[in-house]
């Protein structure tokens, strides 16, 4: 399947590594202008320079609405529009059972994983409305609908993100703003190294070879940004099945 994102501008959070970096590189290859956002500038500036003139690096702490709003403003000032938002930034550390968890650290996960997605929606939707539409892709997880030991912060925030996806779809589908979630399954990123080290719950016992490459998630994000992804609007698209991988073009 041929994907063409020419003329589109995509803003990607958590773009310094893993799924975010892969999505930025892949979407640029498909013709999009890409804005790489992360809390620190070093890696995103390097990646943006490797991509070239179609890329811009902006620092942004998604847990702070003012940061998100300012970063979106820089993106629009540089490229002239905002067409695609990828709410990818997310953390799972520290993994702990509820009775042993640190309340401040638990709250920080909420600020990034859940409030960060709300901040992205709030900052981008008015711009997309003025521009005649757009696409928001929220990175979700099977944890949104399944409880896992030690992951109360992650499961709860991903469940919240799924609810935000559904609410935003209900409110803005008529304005041609598509909101869709991607549940990629387990992905070979630094997050899985953290999970492995924890030794908590069955996910930590998975072999590295069982995780999909970040590039597969990046391809799914690019695919969801096209009209092919429309049937999944307002819900999570799971990449775990062979049928889904085939639809995205990852397997024949």
Can 30 be counted among the known catalytic residues?
Answer: no
- 227: which residues sit within 8 A by CB, 6+ positions away? none
Query: Which DSSP helix (H) or strand (E) runs through 236?
Result: strand 236-238
- 9: which residues sit within 8 A by CB, 6+ positions away? 32, 33, 34, 35, 75, 76, 79, 80, 81, 82, 83, 84
| Interatomic CA distance for residues 105 and 148, integer angstroms | 18
Q: Which of 30, 65, 118, 154 is catalytic?
A: 154
In angstroms, what CA-CA distances link 227 with 125, 142, 183, 208?
A: 19, 24, 18, 33
What would the two tokens of residue 164 be?
């935000």
| Interatomic CA distance for residues 27 and 34, integer angstroms | 7
Say if strands 84-87 and 177-183 run parallel, antiparallel, or are unpaired. unpaired
Catalytic amino acids? 154
């Amino acid at each position: 399947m041929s994907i063409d994102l020419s003329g589109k501008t995509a803003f990607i959070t958590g773009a310094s590594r893993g799924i975010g970096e892969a999505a930025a590189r892949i979407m640029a290859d498909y013709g999009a202008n890409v804005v790489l956002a992360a809390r620190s500038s070093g890696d995103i500036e390097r990646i943006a320079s490797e991509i070239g003139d179609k890329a811009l690096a902006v620092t942004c702490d998604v847990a702070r609405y003012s940061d998100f709003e300012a970063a979106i403003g820089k993106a629009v000032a540089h490229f002239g529009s905002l067409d695609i938002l990828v709410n990818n930034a997310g953390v799972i550390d520290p993994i702990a059972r509820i009775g042993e968890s640190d309340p401040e650290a638990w709250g920080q996960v909420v600020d990034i994983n859940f409030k960060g997605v709300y901040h992205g929606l709030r900052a981008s939707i008015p711009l997309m409305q003025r521009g005649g539409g757009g696409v928001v892709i929220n990175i979700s997880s099977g944890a949104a609908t399944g409880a896992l030991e030690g992951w109360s912060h992650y499961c709860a925030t991903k469940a919240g993100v799924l609810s935000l996806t559904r609410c935003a779809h209900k409110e803005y589908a008529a304005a041609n703003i598509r909101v869709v979630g991607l549940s990629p399954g387990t992905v070979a990123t630094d997050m899985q190294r953290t999970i492995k080290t924890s030794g908590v719950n069955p996910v930590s016992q998975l072999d590295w070879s069982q995780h999909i490459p970040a590039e597969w998630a990046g391809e799914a994000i690019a695919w969801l940004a096209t009209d092919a992804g429309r049937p999944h609007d307002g819900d999570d698209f799971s990449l775990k099945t062979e049928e889904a991988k085939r639809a995205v073009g990852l397997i024949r």
